[in-house]
Structure 1
Amino acid sequence: MAQRLRVGLIGLGNAVEPHAKSLIDLADRVEVKAAASRSPERLQAFSARFPFPTTTDIDGIFADPEIDAVWILTPPNTHLDFGLRAAAAGKHVLMEKPLDIDVAGGAKLVDAFRKADRRLGVALQHRFRPGSLRLKALLDEGALGAVASAWMTVPWWRPQAYYDQPGRCTMARDGGGVLMTQAIHTLDLFRSLVGISAVVAADAVTTPVHKVETEDYASALIRLGNGAPGVVMATTAAYPGGEERIEIMGSAATAWMAGGNLAVRWHDGREEKVTQTGATGGGANPMDFPHDWHLGLITDFIDAIRDRRDPIVSGAEGLTSQKVIDQILAKAGWHPTS
């Protein structure tokens, strides 16, 4: 790897903003060689905001020998093709979530990057919130005691206009609804903290609130990594949208995460808090959140390339979270509406 990681971006839609801001912050470690989109309007809008060279030549990103890593920020149904091309070209890849529209495609990507000895990361940035990092450390230290139960809730809101956008939350483009497209962030963080070993029972529906092909509500009774009981619930039908929550009940303390805010209370009276400012994307504007979490994710991805290790949110990790989503929907007997 050169002194600075040389990067190409593919896809300049909504997802690019926190990545671009983070790459500006990391200018001493990263050089963006090109930002590509086939849309002239998106190229123009991106150029007005960010100081990176732009191009319509996506093929050139893969062919350029000076590009070390590719950010794939396009819709999920493009991930398998673009990812396999990047692996064949010897590029590292940071993939926007989800890894692919289905588990089979995701498994092909993980295998391709393993064989190419290139790093594959997934943009599941909630693991890099300060509260998430602190809670992970406390759990690793055993500071909460034995985990007796845990649950996560994502009471978010999306207006019908969000779903009226072409391809939004369709199986063909996005691969799923609330679990795959919105709640995967919280689900991935939850799984990284307490594990999910089994789905005991589940329900998934498209509520009367939305006209959409995929589910906008899902819930499940689960078993955590240690076999303790847990609950998962996610929806985009909860107007006007609230903070996602993770609660972990231990034998020595209980921890609550609401959005990015962490509170821990021990049985002996001690308390600890980690607070953040800003929204978390739970309302009508899905991009209403700071880019700090992306900055942590991208810093780890760059370090992983330098150290020849998997990033914290590797392709395999992203695929494991996606498998849990499949298990919930299968247990629910859910299928897309016609």
Structure 2
Amino acid sequence: MAPSAERKVNFGLIGLGRHGSRYATHLLKDVPQAKLVAVCRRDREQGQAFAHRHGLIFCSDYHQLIENPGVQAIAIVVSPDLHLDICRHAVAAGKHVLLEKPLARNLAEGRQLKDLLDNARIKFMLAQTLRFNSVVREIKRLKDRVGKIHLAAFNQRMERHKLGWLDDPHVAGGGNILHTGVHIFDLIHFLLEEEVEWAWCRTGRVYHQRTEDIFAALLGLEMGKTICLVDSCKVTGGRSGRIELVGERGQLVGDHVLGTLIHIEDRRAVSLELPSSVHTVQKVLEAFANCILDDQTPSITAQDGLRTLRVAEMCYRSAQNGMVAKRRSYLNEGNIESK
């Protein structure tokens, strides 16, 4: 069999908005293991124009794209109210699926999607893109340098989003917690390798009317000795993404947006050299295509997505009732699997 670098996976892309366009650009130019063959966009005029410029098949609805025999894998970059239905049709057609986070609008839909995928004979990967960020990967590589971690802090600062559907709970499922917080919740497990046991959260609205654009949370991990401080806002004029791991022997302080990493020990702070920055969407696409070509299990699963939805739901519950939400109560209610 030819090496994966000499073979290609034919992709169909559902969603050509702001973020979907990033997927399209990388599939057209940057991922040698993949070939973009078809696109689907609700705006027919813009979708047809894009397809014509790049010699692609335009599909007026996602059913048509999924049923196209020339499409082997589907990248889904749409609002989460469509995730479950699109995945059902993709699984029925035997098409591999790369899905933008969040996994679903809520935990109940996430469980339905995971159950569907558990019985499917396709490759599925959730695009938790920050796992491929150079700063994040270097923090993971170096974390033992600071010793046992008892405190971690994660925050995200972003500009105001102008997508109207993000303020529609029926379409979006939630606000900042669900659409940015899940990045942080995934990083907590990726870097610290523990489950979140409890959450205390507060939310705020500045520009949004129905969903939160600010939240802050305290999260306790399963071993009982690590607390995470998490906060995110989408109301500022600049971006940053701070990660701080506080260990018994020192601290690692990085920013995955600004591309910085500092090691602090005693009263000395040393800036660390980082690997070259990467386009994380490109890396996700490369990893997923290679899994298909080499018949490997993708590294980011539906269970990973379900884990982040659980933490998000704990945060929402805490914000609503003012109390600490505990993972144990979800297990007792039968809402989620243990891991």
What TM-score do the two structures reach when normalised by structure 1? 0.83
Mapped partners of 1:259, 1:13: distance in 2? 24
- Partner residue, 1:121: 125
Matched residue of 1:244: which SS?
A: strand
Please, which of 66, 86, 90 is the counterpart of residue 94 of structure 2? Answer: 90
Q: Tell me which amino acid in the other structure corresponds to 1:199.
A: W
Matches within 5 A, 1:18-167: 18-26=22-30, 28-44=32-48, 46-47=50-51, 50-139=54-143, 142-158=144-160, 162=162, 165=164, 167=165
Alignment partner of 1:233 is 2:231? yes
- Partner residue, 1:263: 261
- Partner residue, 2:332: none
Mapped partners of 2:70, 2:44: distance in 1? 24
Mapped partners of 1:59, 1:171: distance in 2? 25
Deviations 1:264-323 (A, max 9, x none): 31538665232777xxxxxxxxxxxxx711111111111222343332222221221121
- Partner residue, 1:274: 274
Mapped partners of 1:98, 1:331: distance in 2? 20
Alpha-carbon RMSD: 2.6
Matched residue of 2:288: which SS?
A: helix
Matched residue of 2:150: which SS?
A: strand
| Structure 1: unaligned runs, 5 residues or longer | 278-290
Q: Tell me which amino acid in the other structure corresponds to 1:210.
A: Y
Q: Tell me which amino acid in the other structure corresponds to 1:190.
A: I
Q: CA deviation at 1:48?
A: 6.9
Mapped partners of 2:170, 2:55: distance in 1? 34
Q: CA deviation at 1:49?
A: 6.3
Alignment partner of 1:17 is 2:50? no
Q: Tell me which amino acid in the other structure corresponds to 1:187.
A: F
Matched residue of 1:106: which SS?
A: helix
Please, which of 317, 324, 330 is the counterpart of residue 311 of structure 2? Answer: 324
Mapped partners of 2:297, 2:20: distance in 1? 23
Alignment partner of 1:251 is 2:253? no
- Partner residue, 1:283: none
Greater helix content: 2
Deviations 1:23-67 (A, max 9, x none): 123453212221122322331453476453323253222222332
Mapped partners of 2:203, 2:44: distance in 1? 39
Mapped partners of 2:229, 2:113: distance in 1? 30
| Structure 2: unaligned runs, 5 residues or longer | 323-339
Percent same amino acid at aligned positions? Answer: 25
Matched residue of 2:146: which SS?
A: coil
What TM-score do the two structures reach when normalised by structure 2? 0.83
